[in-house]
Amino acid sequence: MSLSEWFTQKRNICVKNNIKQSDIQLPENFWIKCNKCSFLMYYKNLNQNFKVCPKCNYHFPTSSQDRIHHIFDLDSWKSLNNNLSSTDPLGFSDKKLYRKRLQDMKMKTGLLDAVQTGIASINNISVACGIMDFRFMGGSMGSVVGEKLTRLIEYATKIKLPLIILCASGGARMQEGMLSLMQMAKISSALYKHSEAGLSYFTILTSPTTGGVTASFAMLGDLIIAEPNALIAFAGRRVIEQTIKEDLPDNFQTSEYLFKHGFIDLIISRIELRDQLYKLLSLYT
């Protein structure tokens, strides 16, 4: 239904039932305002533009399922280890029991944990891919995230596939303590074997990519790619400023700042990501 048709229908309802038009509310998420430039747009138009603002190029948060749809060939995605789910090894609780928090996240997102892994193709080039989802507990890396990524890397090494990991994470999952920190070394070790086999590995850093994820596999790619204006960091800005007793630049911890200082290799818009990945895979393979 077009916008004019929607307003016409609602106006007729108002006239028939003697209701003020001001009392009729727009459907939830019918219109979306850009967080950066305040441009108002129809939500379907935003979705068709890969959730990128057409005016200022602001990249809205998006889900792992949307990224699968945007990047890979239609119906080429084959999930791996999709049955793994976190437990509560420490019996952790803060404002809510960790096991209850996990249940709530599963219901809210439809995912079992903060990463999807699988095999797919980009213009018929097969790749192994892990896609982190910030909606699930801030994309935090717990035992299941580490295990799924490690199994993915080992499988890619075995069948000799290039590897792509899209990172979106607040870091290691505090509710699993040392078990979450162990995943940094486990994933890095698997990546070393993948590299020794002569296979390429690309990381794509989205906003935010922080903490233990940044300190391990996110920065180990043969090519490190980032979305525009993504937040990429290890520690928080305030922590660093208090430690070094200096003020930091306004654009500190953005992908543009890191690109300028040699920490990442490319900045690629989400709209162009599929085509650019195809070109890079063609070159590397």
**Cβ proximity of 117 and 129 under 8 Å:** yes
Query: Residue 285 has what DSSP assignment?
Result: -
Sheet containing 78-79: which strands, arranged edge to edge? 78-79, 115-122, 125-132, 163-169, 201-209, 223-226, 266-267
Residue 202: enclosing H or E segment and its boundaries? Answer: strand 201-209
Pick out the residues of the known binding site for Zn(2+): 34, 37, 53, 56
Pick out the residues of the known binding site: 34, 37, 53, 56
**Cβ proximity of 209 and 131 under 8 Å:** no
- Retrieve residue 180's tokens: 């979450």
Closest CA to 114 of 58, 60, 168: 168
Within 10 A of 29 (CB to CB), how many other CB atoms are there? Answer: 8
Q: What angle do CA 155, 134, 280 make, to 5 degrees?
A: 50
**Cβ proximity of 183 and 172 under 8 Å:** yes
